[in-house]
Every structure is written in structure tokens, then in C-alpha cells.
Amino acid sequence: MDRLSSPTIAVDEAASTPPQTSILSAIWQRDRVLLGLVLIAALLGLIYNGVILLGKGADEPRHMAYVQLLLNEHQFPFLEPDPSNPSRMREHAGAHTLHPPLYYLILLPVYALTRGLGENTAWHLTRLVSLLLCLATLPLIYQMAQVVGQRSTTFARLGVAQVALLPIFGMTAGTINNDSATFFAVTLFLWLLAVKYPRDHSLKSALILGICFGLGALCKATSLICDGAALVVYLLVQDGWRKAITSPRPWLRFAIVVLCVVVIAGPWYGRNLLMYHKMTPIEAGYSTTDLKWLPSTSMGLLVVLLHPNFPPLFASANWSIFYTMWSQKDWIPEGLRTPVYVALAAYCVLAIVGLILLKVRRQQAQQDAVEIADAGYNTQQVIPTSLWSSFAAFAFNWLACLAMALFVHWGWAEGGRYLLPSLCGLSLLLAWGWSGLMGLNRLPSVLAVWCVGLIGLNCVTIYWLLHYLNPTFGNS
């Protein structure tokens, strides 16, 4: 049974003895189920590494070209005039100009040391860096879930399983893409907020947060959105928003974090501003305006929002982001897609129902806490700051992805994978909702069904890759 049999004991323990911050040996010794989840995730990542054809990961040729450009020409990627169309720009050597360099600098020595083994072998071995970065996030998510779930091991396991067993996690871990580094950087930042410094008001903690934030921004601009949203919510909720606004210390800590980000990541984004007049150069021609679906925002945002095409495009973009958040597009056989995605949507809806029930039970707990605790329900009176801050990262990441799809590049409508860096925020909220719906004592059944279902879904996607996608599109 979970350690949450009494609300008084559970809340007091969570408040007085936060989880140990040793990330490796202590956790594995305490919870072998977590070790099993990590091993399964590692196995799936290795399988996807072998099954996904080289260059068939999301934008993988451009990511690898970035590494090759660093090694061969000793320069960062840049845009140059396209000889076939001088009015347009193209990426020099096909390298992904959009992204900062930190992830590719991490890959550089691995690729340089293995290139002599043959290009294919070097490619597969370089992919392993993504696997290591993704796996490193799992013990961090586990400890964050322990903070949110009042030290419940089952809650923490579910928080990990809802991320580690997704096909999109396996795809990210099995290919060359900077989402893996961004995933680790954002999760580490959220872990610092939730586990390391939940009540720390020191300037030292602000400095460490700023360094982590800045390095994340050098992995991908997504970190600016996720970490920024989480930091603001963390500072507002930590001691109450009134005190946060009136006290100088939160503002000072915020300023230190921002200064660190500017010092660490500012040169890269400043370079882009000087070269392209944009912080991130995104290729043109794929916006809803270019595709003649919506009028230009220059006519006014209200004109766009009132356009008859906007409601269906808005709904389509949200649904597309939702289903590509779990698995890469077309990875599930067509006949199974609708049932699978409807089941995942139902899983999220039931979690929302659990959140509503949890609110009702918290009100009832004020009158009869003992009776509710005997049923094994989560009766924590205050939603943890870590849940607010981590979900804020996910929510703002989703909104940014939606805005990009609607107003900048429609391809982002199929960019649910861009949400992986902040996915632990959604996972914690779903686990919180299911703990309210089922009760912590019955949460192991949810964990078991989730694990069996997601492992089965991975088997389906691997089969579909081997028997349809690879033979059909392998030479395209």
C-alpha cells in the first residue's frame, strides 16, 4: 500500500522531509519499478534507433547536417540566397539554421570519434546521445511526482510512465533531434523549482536557475517559453502573489535569472537578430496566410478571428497537436488511429473529472477528513507549487505551438512532438486527476493498464514502421 493512508501524516511528511535529491543509486534501491520503467524506455529507444531509417526522423537530415557543418567547416549554420530562386533563402549545406548550437556541440565529439566506423554506424551511435538525454529526465520526473503526490510511489511511477512509454518519447530518444536536449534542460529546470529549491529564496538558487535556464535556451527557443512560464508562476505562487509583487526579493531573483539567460544565450539570439532581424529564422511560405486560408494579421487580429475559416482551423490545429503529442503522425495504422486517439482523449477527460472531484473532496475534507482518508483519496488541501509551475510550462508551450500553427507555419499543427520538453507538466496533472478519480489506493490499476496499453501501442508502431512506413517511404 502507498504511504498515503492518513492525510495528516502524508502532508506533514511531504512538508518536513522532501524527497532526497540523490538522483541515481538511492532511487533505484528504493523503487525497482522505476528501474523497470527506465529499462523498458531504454529498450524502446534502442529499438526505434534501429527501426527508424537513417534520416527519417523528424528533420533528422538537417540536424545531422548541423553537426557535419560544425565538424567540416567549423562554423554555425546560416541562410544563403537560393541559386534557383534568388528571392528566397536556403540553409547552407542543409544545416538546420533555426536552432541554437548546444545540442549539436554535445553531438560533435561523438560523431567525430565514430565517423571512421562508417557513416551509418556513426549515425546510429550519435543517436544514442538523444537516448541518454531522454532517460536522464525520468528520475527527475519521478522526484517531481513524489513532491506533487505526497510521497506516493504509485503516483510517481504513473507520472514517469505517462511520459517514458509514449511512442513520441521513443522516437525522440531514437533519433538525432534537439528536442531530447531541450526535454532534459526544461525538466531539470522544473526539477530545480519543485525538488531542489521549492522554498529557497537565496540568490545562489537564482543564479543556478539562471544558468540552467540559459543553457536550455541554447538548446532550443522552446526553453524560453517553458522555463519562463514556470519561473513566473513559481515566484508568484511560492509565497503568494501579493507578497511576490510587493516584496523586492522575488524581483531580484527574477532579475538574476534573466541576466544569466541574457549572458549565456544572448549572443546566439543577438546574432540572429543582426543577420535575419529575427530571433529564430523560420522559413516562409507555409503560414495560413500564404496558403490563402486566413487573411493577413496586418488587417487586424479581429478580422482574422472573425474569418469563417478560423473556427475550423483552430479546432483542427488543436486536435492535430493533441494526437501528434502521443505518437508521430502516421505511425499508427489508419484503422486504429481513431480508437487510439479517442481513448487517449477520454483518458485526459477522465483526469479532468478527477480534478473536479478532488476539489469537491477537499471541501468535504474540511468536515470529515478521516472518512475520506480511509477511502485512500488524495485530500491535500493546497495544490503544490510544483504542479502549478510545471503545468504552466506545458500550457504556454501548447499555446505557443498553436499560435505558430495559426499565424506563422501550419506545419506546427502536426508538431505535438514540440510539447515533449514540457510533457512532465501534463503528466503530473493527469496523475493528480486520476488520483482524485480513483483514489491513491487504486492508482496501481491505472498504472498497470497504462503500461500494458502503451507497451502494446509501441509494438503496433514498431510493426507499422517495419512493414509499411519503411518499405513504402524508405526511398523517398
For the stretch 167-178, pLDDT in tens is 999 999 999 999
Rounded mean pLDDT, 11-26 = 45
- Residue 389 pLDDT more than 60? yes
Mean pLDDT of 2-29: 44
- pLDDT, the chain, mean: 88
pLDDT in tens, 23-71: 555 665 678 899 999 999 999 999 999 999 999 999 999 999 999 999 9
Could you report the per-residue pLDDT of 346-367, keeping only the tens digit for each?
999 999 999 999 888 777 766 6
The answer on pLDDT for 2 being more than 50 is: no
pLDDT at residue number 376: 56
pLDDT tens digit sequence for 234-288: 988 877 777 778 888 889 999 999 999 999 999 999 999 999 988 888 766 677 7
Chain segment 279-319, per-residue pLDDT in tens: 888 766 677 777 778 888 778 888 888 889 999 999 999 99
Positive or negative: CA dihedral 463, 465, 469, 473:
negative
Amino acid code (one letter) for 155: F
Domain boundaries defined on the chain:
7-473
Q: 14 and 4 in contact (C-beta within 8 Å)?
A: no
Q: What are phi and psi of 294, to 5 degrees?
A: -135, 155
423-452 pLDDT, tens per residue?
999 999 999 999 999 988 899 999 999 999
Kindly indicate the confidence band of residue 325, based on its pLDDT and cuts at 50, 70 and 90: very high
Q: pLDDT value at position 364?
A: 75
The distance of Cα 81 from the centroid of its chain, to the nearest Å, equals 34
pLDDT at 135 over 60: yes
Tell me what the mean pLDDT of segment 408-434 comes to. Answer: 92
Taking CA atoms, 87 is separated from 82, 83, 225, 284, in Å, by 7, 9, 32, 12
**Residues above pLDDT 90, as percent of the chain:** 66
In the block, cell 544572448 appears at: 266
The per-residue pLDDT for range 69-104, each reduced to its tens digit, is 999 999 999 999 888 887 788 999 999 998 999 999
According to the model, what pLDDT value does residue 369 have? Answer: 53
Q: Nine-digit cell at 187?
A: 525538466
Q: How far is CA 105 from the centre of its chain?
A: 21
The pLDDT of residue 25 is 54
Following DSSP, what letter does each residue of 69-137 receive, concatenated? HHHHH-S---EEEETTEEEEEEEGGG--TTS-SHHHHHHHHHHHHHGGG-HHHHHHHHHHHHHHHHHHH
Least trusted range by pLDDT, from 6-20, 80-94, 333-347: 6-20
User: Quick check: 417 and 172 in contact, CB under 8 A?
Assistant: yes
**pLDDT for the residue numbered 373:** 53
Q: Return the pLDDT at 472.
A: 93
pLDDT score, position 287 = 75
Report percent pLDDT > 70 for the chain.
Answer: 89
- Asked whether the beta carbons of 131 and 49 are under 8 A apart, the reply is yes
Q: Which residues pair with 90 in a beta bridge?
A: 80
